[in-house]
Amino acid sequence: MERLYGEVPFHRRHDLEVLAVTPERASVKLAFDPGLVGNPELGAVHGGVVSALVDLAGAAVFVGGREAFTPTIDLRVNYLEAAGREPLYATATVDRRGADIGVASVEVESGGAVCATGTGVYKLTDD
């Protein structure tokens, strides 16, 4: 898991840290960087960054078991409040793991508060 994620330039550039991966759960951390701010008046992290973190955490729970990337089929993100100047922590939990498709629910926290939730659907086969 760490080897695969470490090869991705986006992950390296933004110091994405995989905290834990089990067959049912994955946690990742994204440190705050002023270059990620999308609303300078609030100092809030850009929603696209939050969305990317939902996707990365959701995929991580399946990548760990496959030792291969899992293409995203669908991604839904609910923005609950602004993600501030704190590290972002995303935790993904498997909702369904079929032969071809996996579904994960994700919560993103900023400063101890849930700032976003989401659902990712991932392809688990190479065909």
Q: Do the beta carbons of residue 58 and residue 91 sit within 8 Å?
A: no
Structural domains of the chain ordered from first start? 1-123 (3.10.129.10)
Which of the two residues, 126 and 52, has the higher pLDDT score? 52
| DSSP string computed for 21-49 | E-SSEEEEEE---GGGEEETTTTEEPHHH
Q: Do the beta carbons of residue 125 and residue 69 sit within 8 Å?
A: no
Residue 119, burial from CB neighbour count under 10 angstroms (0-12, 13-18, 19+) = middle
Q: How confident is the model over 63-122, as pLDDT tens digits?
A: 866 677 789 999 999 999 999 889 999 999 999 999 999 999 999 999 999 999 999 999
- The whole-angstrom separation of Cα 26 and Cα 43 is 27
Q: How confident is the model over 19-28, as pLDDT tens digits?
A: 898 989 999 9
pLDDT score at 47: 92
Per-residue pLDDT band for 6 (boundaries 50, 70, 90) equals low
pLDDT score at 121: 98
Q: How confident is the model over 36-62, as pLDDT tens digits?
A: 899 888 889 999 999 999 999 999 899
Determine how many CB atoms are found less than 10 A away from the CB of residue 57. Answer: 32
- The whole-angstrom separation of Cα 26 and Cα 58 is 8
